[in-house]
Structure 1
Amino acid sequence: MALSIRARLQLGGLVLSLLGWVCSCVTIVLTQWKTLNTEMNLMDTWTMGLWEACINREEVAIVCKAFDSFFSLPGELQVARVLMIISQGLGLLGLLLSGCGSECCQFFRTRKVLKGCLCLLGGTLEALASATTLFPVSWVAHAIVQEFWDDRIPEIVPRWEFGDALFLGWAAGLFLAVGGLLLIVSTCLGKENMPSPRMADSTASPS
């Protein structure tokens, strides 16, 4: 059975939203938000995440230590931890609502208007999840750049650099944004194809 244009947009939005949500989940647990490698000891690489800091000793082992307190984190990582947790909740709730509102879901007999509202709400939540993912990742990157080019810090002091988690976070935010946009567009497309009440009455009533 061929899918309609609306169903294809919804399916694409759901797949991209799911991919973005999974990438966001991986981003929040990775320790490579910040990386540091000193010239005096090239064998050791320091990494910092939202929950713990690690040191990677080449050909030896990786040793990690969880942060003792939330307030011991830098300001940008404190905000990033809170917003990334909010992003997980928004993304999951958006997936559930838009999945129930899509045409592919036939488990519950719901009216088209209600399914459209669920899909629209789910797409909006995915867009919010994208914002709450991109903002903390970009803020951490901005703080790293500011500290890297700070003239007040002596040159001999090692500087933090971008970690792999930042790039994965940007990809997650992009997937969530495009997925939410497709879900919202599919709802608007469904409203355009929906017949008006007057036309429905005129076709239903006999001449």
Structure 2
Amino acid sequence: MVFLTAKLVQRLALFVSFGGLVITFVTTFLPLWKTLNTDLNEMENWYEGLWHTCIFQDELGLQCKAFESFLALPGDVLASRVLMFVSIGTGLLSVAVGFFGLDGVELGPGRQRLKRALLILGGVLSWVSGVTTLLPVSLVAYVTVVEFWDESVPDIVPRWEFGEALFSGWFSGLFLVLGGSFLFVSVCMRDHGHRRATLPGCQGKPRKPQYRKTEVL
């Protein structure tokens, strides 16, 4: 497509990666990773995240309480905390590194190879950020499913279910992976454009007019 240039793909990649980073940051601190509703009291809804356990009541509203002990955290919650922080850190580095590799951002003369390396590094960091977002979200979802179908727990005991933060985490991870992929595509497009510019037939030389010889009888 004519309008799909390397510069446009680069900016689209940073926009998608930055959007995924913002959603990842919000997802990390949302207390909506798991939700629970009891049949005995339908006016109460319980929510649990990586940092808080909350209860919503119609009369009192939302009340949250932080986990008291760091050492008493379940293994999946502790691992999810670490991975989400790694995702935020690598996502910030990805956006910063990718910005300095954009076409139009001056780093000095003769720095095209450096800018190409920055775009590749930004794509790798964005992929790492996306994977480290998808892993904790999928881990919490897996543990929730296993505990929901645990036959050793009596049926009268309420079970945790998926919260909205899990779905936002999956979307943010996919956005980060997609943004990194767009950065790789922009590098390939720019390399292809440079190769075409160096070909003998693509130097932009004026072509001699060709005339067809005709005979008049």
Shift, 1:99, TM fit: 0.6
1:144: which partner in 2? 144
Shift, 1:60, TM fit: 1.9
Q: Which moved more, 1:10-19 or 1:182-191?
A: 182-191
Report the structure number with the largest CA radius of gyration: 2
Q: What does the per-residue CA deviation read over 1:68-114, in whole Å, with 9 as the maximum and x for residues that have no partner?
A: 122222211111100000000000000000011011424x3251111
CA distance 1:70–1:104, change in 2 (3 Å): farther
In the alignment, structure 1 residue 112 sits paired with structure 2 residue 112:
yes
Amino acid at match of 2:138: S
In the alignment, structure 1 residue 191 sits paired with structure 2 residue 194:
no
Q: What does the per-residue CA deviation read over 1:138-197, in whole Å, with 9 as the maximum and x for residues that have no partner?
A: 11001101111111110000000000100000010011010000001111222233349x
Amino acid at match of 2:176: L
**Hey, what's the Cα distance between the residues in 1 that align with 2:4 and 2:39?**
59
Amino acid at match of 1:103: D
- Provide runs of 4+ in structure 1 moved above 3 Å: none
2:7: which partner in 1? 7
Amino acid at match of 1:32: L
**Hey, what's the Cα distance between the residues in 2 that align with 1:122 and 1:77?**
28
**Hey, what's the Cα distance between the residues in 2 that align with 1:50 and 1:138?**
14
**Hey, what's the Cα distance between the residues in 1 that align with 2:7 and 2:119?**
11
Amino acid at match of 2:33: W
**Hey, what's the Cα distance between the residues in 2 that align with 1:130 and 1:62?**
31
Structure 1 segment 1-207 matched on structure 2, within 5 A: 5-106=5-106, 108-109=107-108, 111-195=111-195
**Hey, what's the Cα distance between the residues in 2 that align with 1:117 and 1:158?**
52
Shift, 1:63, TM fit: 1.2
Q: What does the per-residue CA deviation read over 1:119-138, in whole Å, with 9 as the maximum and x for residues that have no partner?
A: 11001100000000001001
The alignment of Structure 1 onto Structure 2 pairs a total of residues equal to 198
SS at match of 2:31: coil
SS at match of 2:71: helix
Question: Which one has a larger percent helix, Structure 1 or Structure 2?
Answer: 1
Query: Which consecutive residues of structure 1, in runs of 5 or more, have no partner in the other structure?
Result: none
CA distance 1:27–1:104, change in 2 (3 Å): farther
